[in-house]
Amino acid sequence: MQYRDWPVLVTGAGGSIGSALTARLLDLGARVTGLARSEESLIRIPEGAHRVLGSITERATLAHAMTGVDTVFHCAAHKHVGICEANPTEAYYNNVFGMMQTLNSARAAGVQQFVLLSTDKAYKPTSVYGRTKRECEELMFHAEFANPKIVRLCNVLGSSGSVIPLWKKQMMAGGPVLVTSDEATRYFITMPVAVDFLITSLDLHGIGPHIPHGIEPTRIIDLAHATIGSRLIDIEITGLRPGEKLHETLTDEL
């Protein structure tokens, strides 16, 4: 695939995954427009991208951001399980209605390729966040693009939703490190793997959902012990929070 001067829009480009994806696309020589909903997140968009301030729920903003764009990477979403559980109306408005607006604007702008960043929580969802992303996946099957893709990622280490930055703050305060369950497992990938998989998903067959393969589940408590290392920090088991599963499942089933 030719990346030089590739006209791309990244929604949610001020987030941890969106900004890393934007930086990688810029390194490849793409012409990137980054859309972010707040000034704080707009500043986090890497230098070299065309920065657009606005929300995916605003049609005029989307129309401006998609001018001349060939490919959209839709990363914008409310992603924190607990916050979405406590604010379901806003979660659905931003994630589902925002997805509808983005799809409609992309079709109107003549976008050829559309990649939806989804989550393993969309498989048999038990949380508000998971259900919103499942609905976004279903919308993709009615999308009229030459090359639409659904990419389901698991927990991305180093992202804003990753538990490790939270644990490090707890460790800085002397502990304890909070873990939901000593039995809970999750799938983890690194940020570079996540970003490269998003880009190369355009070369995969079919709409998906596409998932990274070869990843084994990890017990959260084992990751906590590895993060603590030799430090004398206690671990406290808090119990699963509303919407959380004991075990996430990586699957390509819708």
DSSP string, 160-216: TT-HHHHHHHHHHTT-PEEES-SS-EE-EEEHHHHHHHHHHGGGSSSS--B---S--
Sheet with 7-11, edge to edge strand ranges: 50-53, 31-36, 7-11, 71-74, 113-119, 147-153
Residue 121 annotated to the active site: yes
Catalytic residue among 79, 121, 133, 245: 121
Active site residues: 121
